[in-house]
């Protein structure tokens, strides 16, 4: 992929003792405790391991020294149904991009938000700590985006910040994760991908996160299942995520804070095929959890992650600001460096 930038090297100058692993779920809100319409209302032990035992339904909340679980607003002060383009841009920049665009817009980034994504994405903000995007994409993705120019928010932010976008070669080398966790969807397309267990996928995700201050994984099948109003699709992806989350909760290194959230509701109400205005979950497990207490909406997630990363570096910078890597800090290539 000649036009795919290489990943930034891990910065060995800033020793990030605190790290963040963010798993972004597209289209998952907190809905009614109603098994008929809400597949999240079933018992999901892996999800509950990341929410202090709370079910992921409307009104649920838990707070503890290592846990934060609450619903947060995805409507951002605008009418209408929240959309992925503006919701994700907001979630990954900390800027209200729906307000910038003047409306909810998606699924791709709105032109009025392009500069904000370029300059203020998580990959730009946290680059000095080492950043990684864990998802691996098949050739058809690159063919499609190169033909249409329509990059989804996450990969657009990677391009802008020169973060490596993983391929199925990376995946097959154990250095990436499929958006459906196991890789079954890619294997079903006839691609040369070995299907792995959610546990193996979880180990790979943790090892990608290990040398990076900030690591992101994106899951889009949740939103697709919601649009399709498909209970089977919903159950399939939730089962894989549930097993992945159980494993992540069990194997999480002490200094890693896991953050799970979404851009808008959808999957939690299969009675409609559209997005919803429901709150979305914010589940945080790890030492950074207290920084999320005051997060009320998508805008607040990035500043909270920034506080986690700033607080754990042992740098001399003021609290709440990221440390400067400093002049002459060595940049040696991390495991993904090439």
Q: Taking CB under 5 A as the rule, which mask of x and - marks residues 280-319 in contact with Zn ion?
A: ----------------------------------------
Angle at 248 between CA 41 and CA 294, to 5 degrees: 70
Instruction: Select 223 or 336, whichever has its Cβ closest to Zn ion.
Output: 223
Q: Residue 280: enclosing H or E segment and its boundaries?
A: strand 280-285
In angstroms, what is the minimal distance from the CB of 106 to Zn ion? 7
Please calculate the CA angle 221-225-227 and round it to the nearest 5 degrees: 115
- Complex with Zn ion: residue 120 or 276, whichever CB lies closer: 276
Listed residue (238, 246, 307) closest to 94, CA to CA: 307
CB of 84 to Zn ion, least distance (A): 6
* Listed ranges 95-103, 209-217, 219-227, 298-306: which one lies at the site for Zn ion (CB under 5 A): 219-227
Q: Is 223 in the site for Zn ion (CB under 5 A)?
A: yes
Closest distance of CB 108 from Zn ion, Å: 12
**Total residues at interface with Zn ion (CB under 5 A):** 1
Read off the tokens for 5.
């930038």
Distance CA 121, CA 155 (A): 11
Residue with nearest beta carbon to Zn ion: 223
**Rounded (10°) CA dihedral 334, 288, 166, 162:** -70
What is the C-alpha separation between 58 and 155, in angstroms, rounded? 31
> Taking contact as CB under 5 A, which single stretch among the options 119-127, 217-225, 243-251, 298-306 is the one that binds Zn ion?
217-225
Task: Rank residues 223 and 268 by Cβ distance to Zn ion and give the closer one.
Answer: 223
Give every CB contact of residue 61 below 8 A, 6+ residues apart in sequence: 54, 69, 70, 71
β-bridge pairing 280-285 and 67-72: antiparallel
Question: Taking phi first (over 0 means left), then psi (-120 to 50 degrees means alpha), and beta for anything else, what does residue 173 get?
Answer: alpha
| Under 8 Å between Cβ of 44 and 37 | no
If the CB atoms of residues 242 and 263 are measured against Zn ion, the closer one turns out to be 263
Applying CB under 5 A, the span of 155-163, 174-182, 216-224, 239-247 interacting with Zn ion comes to 216-224
Stretch that binds Zn ion, among 1-9, 185-193, 215-223, 316-324 (CB under 5 A): 215-223
Q: Which is nearer to Zn ion, 7 or 268 (CB)?
A: 268
Minimum distance from residue 264 beta carbon to Zn ion (Å): 7
**CB nearer Zn ion, residue 154 or residue 257:** 154
CB of 270 to Zn ion, least distance (A): 13
Considering only the stretches 2-10, 89-97, 166-174, 220-228, report the one whose residues sit in contact with Zn ion under the rule CB under 5 A: 220-228
Closest distance of CB 276 from Zn ion, Å: 10
CA distance 218 to 221: 10
Residues near Zn ion (CB under 5 A): 223
């Amino acid at each position: 992929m000649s036009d795919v930038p290489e990943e930034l090297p891990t910065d060995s100058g800033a020793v990030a003792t605190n790290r963040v692993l963010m798993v972004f779920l597209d289209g998952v809100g907190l809905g009614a405790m109603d098994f008929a319409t809400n597949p999240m209302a079933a018992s999901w032990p892996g999800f509950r391991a990341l929410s202090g035992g709370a079910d992921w339904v409307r009104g649920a909340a838990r707070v503890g020294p290592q846990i934060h679980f609450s619903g947060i607003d995805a409507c951002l002060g605008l009418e209408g149904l929240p959309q992925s383009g503006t919701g994700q841009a907001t979630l990954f920049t900390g800027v209200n991009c729906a307000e910038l665009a003047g409306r909810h817009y998606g699924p791709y980034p709105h032109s009025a938000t392009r500069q904000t994504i370029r300059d203020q994405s998580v990959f730009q903000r946290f680059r000095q700590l080492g950043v990684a995007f864990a998802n691996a994409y098949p050739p058809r993705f690159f063919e499609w985006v190169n033909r249409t120019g329509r990059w989804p928010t996450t990969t657009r932010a990677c391009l802008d910040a020169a973060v490596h976008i993983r391929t199925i070669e990376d995946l097959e080398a154990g250095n990436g994760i499929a958006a459906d966790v196991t890789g079954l969807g890619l294997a079903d397309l006839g691609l040369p991908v070995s299907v792995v267990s959610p546990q193996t996928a979880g180990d790979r995700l943790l090892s990608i996160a290990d040398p990076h201050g900030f690591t992101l994984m994106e899951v889009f099948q949740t939103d697709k299942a919601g649009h399709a109003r498909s209970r089977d699709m919903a159950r399939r992806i939730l089962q894989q995520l549930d097993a992945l989350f159980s494993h992540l909760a069990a194997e999480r290194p002490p200094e890693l804070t896991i953050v799970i959230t979404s851009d808008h509701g959808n999957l939690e109400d299969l009675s409609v095929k559209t997005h919803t205005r429901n709150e979305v979950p914010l589940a945080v497990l790890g030492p950074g959890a207290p920084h999320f207490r005051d997060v009320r909406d998508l805008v607040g997630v990035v500043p909270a992650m920034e506080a986690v990363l700033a607080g754990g570096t042992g740098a001399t910078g003021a609290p709440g600001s990221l440390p400067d890597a400093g002049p002459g800090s060595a940049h040696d290539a991390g495991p993904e460096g090439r």
